[in-house]
Amino acid sequence: MAERRSAPGPLDYTRRLWLRAWLAATFLFLYAPIVILVVFSFNDSRRNIVWRGFTTEYYAKAIANDSLIEAFTNSLIVAFVSTLVSTVLGTLLALALWRFRFPGKPLVEGANALPIVIPEICMGVSLLVFFSSIGLMGGIPWPASLTPIVIGHIAFSFPFVAVVVRARLEGFDRSLEEASKDLGASEWQTLRHVMIPFLKPGIVAGALLAMTLSLDDFVITFFTSGPETITFPIKIYSMVRFGATPEVNAASTVLIVITLLLTVIAMRMQAPDRKGERR
Amino acid sequence: MDSWRSAPWVFWTFLLPGGLWLLLFFLVPLAMVWVLAFGERAGPVEIVVTWTLDNYRQALEPIYLGLFWKSFRIAALATAICLLVGFPVALAVSFAPARVKPVLLMLVILPFWTNLLIRTYSMIAVLRTKGYLNFGLEYLWTGAKAILAPLGLGDLLGERFVPLSLLYNNTAVVFGIVYVYLPFMVLPLYATLEKLDRSLIEASLDLGASQIRTFFAVIVPLAWPGIVSGIILVFIPALGTFLISDLLGGPDSQLIGNVIERQFKAANNIPLGAALSFLLLYMTFLALALRAWLAGRRTGRG
């Protein structure tokens, strides 16, 4: 405590009062709306403006709302498939760009960076045009109707995975790979027993990012969902346009909780490796 | 690095899945939009590509140019606010003691894990006339009134509290963009401030420069790459936003994103929408080129 009371040193920016207040105000700004949203999902009032008492009625309503549950299931399926495929595609592409020299490499690198930087709406409309032209928008039975959304999500997620995995590859000692091959391991065995274990934290981080991007996305989903396909963001969007009700809050809260849980699980999976790396 | 010829099978196995995916589901769709921008509507759904420039001509009419300019202004204002708010935050996080730093960093990143739509929606309850910001202001107003009234100054504040119209206008859109994209600004700033050589700041302070002078003469130039990245990361999505302006904006808050969305959905004028999308894309490329130039200029000098 005595140490705390001493005057802040010149570089102790974090101990300056105004900076602390600034930090607190920013976090209040970032979190208060979400906290209010969660709290008011338990509010016993249709208009949901002032607090009228605790209820879980709107959760029951949300669960009983078949189209909401369907939308929810769809979004989770999309996120699951997109994460799986994005992780594989991104990791492979990162390995290709890291290991090989080939003509046209800058073009591939540029094409990989493009989905990360261009406005989402441009990508959204282009996917809409593409899928309409090949007749994939509407008129197909579930779950194939989710294909355009899944393809779109993979297209904007796996470049991020590639970037994350490639950053991890920069720290790889190639003599390990050579040693493995000198000892008679095949390409596949080297990949399986040398590269992938080393890359695991990067792959997990990339997968986590891909999952987050998929669950977080509204724009691409909005443009790639056909008229009969509802996913969670689309459903919430139409509910919000209809009016802000506690039911929307309840449904949003469930998605927030699911995303947070998945994040915590993914981070747990990542943690032991990180410690091993430091040693 | 190996030549691809050294192990062609491995090379193609690594490259093809991602490469083909990018080609088929990213570049081809984009090329289709590029081509459609030179098309004409020949029926309710058919579009004939005649290589006409009419769509671009129409997209460059004052009404759409005005929309581009407005989107640019709103995005620029929101980016500037993000930088002003985010810089002290990034500074505080990167200079925080090792014990609390991961926690603070986590607090900055956590909003990423909330759906964009949910975050935008949560703004409605804060900003509307009967929203929490107005409730807070009313509380302050009542308090100020109670203090001023005995002094005979109660009339200064008016008869009763008049709630501000904060939602469904351009201010709400700027507010929403800042709320959604602030973490995008803080993270690159943090990344550069974290790596910054602190002895340079100490040297500046030891040599007698004030904290403020040190900030502008040492910290800002050293953090320049992070500042440029942060600006780009906020500005580009802000420029093309349509959800935030759709949910939080009023009738006069239409941005270029809303107009593009309408051409592809309700209005069904795909050629015009395609031309507008590509103008937006060219603006993005311009911003990226500007970033490369700005970043190069600074590092070249330092």
Q: Per residue in B32-85, pLDDT tens?
A: 999 999 988 887 777 888 888 888 998 899 999 999 999 999 999 999 999 999
Mean pLDDT of the region B82-90: 94
- Using a pLDDT cut of 90, give the percent of chain B over it: 36
Please determine, for residue A277, whether its predicted confidence score (pLDDT) is greater than 50.
Answer: no
pLDDT of residue A135: 79
Please determine, for residue B160, whether its predicted confidence score (pLDDT) is greater than 80.
Answer: no
Which of A44-48, A89-93, B243-247, B294-298 is predicted least confidently?
A: B294-298
d(CA B122, CA B41): 40
Answer whether B96's CB lies under 8 Å from B277's CB. Answer: no
pLDDT of residue A274: 47
pLDDT of residue A256: 87
Mutate to test the interface with A, among B23, B26, B259 (most CBs of A within 10 A): B26
- B80-108 burial, b at 16+ Cβ within 10 Å, e below that, comes to ebbbebbbbbbbbbbbbeeeebeebbebb
* Backbone angles phi and psi of B208, in degrees to 5: 100, 0
Answer whether A98's CB lies under 8 Å from A238's CB. Answer: no
pLDDT of residue A271: 60
pLDDT of residue B77: 96
Mutate to test the interface with B, among A129, A165, A259 (most CBs of B within 10 A): A129
Please determine, for residue A236, whether its predicted confidence score (pLDDT) is greater than 50.
Answer: yes
Q: pTM of the full predicted structure?
A: 0.86
Cβ B112–A95 below 8 Å, yes or no? no
Cβ B23–A27 below 8 Å, yes or no? no
Nearest chain A Cα distance for residue B301, angstroms: 26
Tokens of A174: 């190639």
Mean pLDDT of the region A138-156: 87
Give me chain B's average pLDDT, please. 87
In this structure, which amino acid lies at residue B89? Answer: V
Residues 6+ apart with CB under 8 A from A50: none
- A98-112 burial, b at 16+ Cβ within 10 Å, e below that, comes to bbbebeeeeebeebb
Please determine, for residue B302, whether its predicted confidence score (pLDDT) is greater than 70.
Answer: no
pLDDT of residue A193: 87
Mean pLDDT of the region B215-239: 89
pLDDT of residue A276: 44
d(CA A250, CA A163): 35
In this structure, which amino acid lies at residue B180? Answer: V
Instruction: State which residue of chain A sits closest to B18, comparing Cα positions.
Output: A89
d(CA B209, CA B223): 18
d(CA B59, CA B283): 14
Answer whether A89's CB lies under 8 Å from B18's CB. Answer: yes
Nearest chain A Cα distance for residue B152, angstroms: 33
Greater model confidence, B212 or B238: B238
Answer whether B203's CB lies under 8 Å from B185's CB. Answer: no
Which of A17-21, B68-72, B150-154 is predicted least confidently?
A: B150-154
Cβ B179–A108 below 8 Å, yes or no? no
pLDDT of residue B300: 47
Closest CA to B79 of B163, B197, B174: B174
pLDDT of residue B298: 58
pLDDT band at B299; cut points 50, 70, 90: low
Answer whether A159's CB lies under 8 Å from A116's CB. Answer: yes
Q: Which of A22, A101, A159 sits opposite B1 (nearest CB)?
A: A101
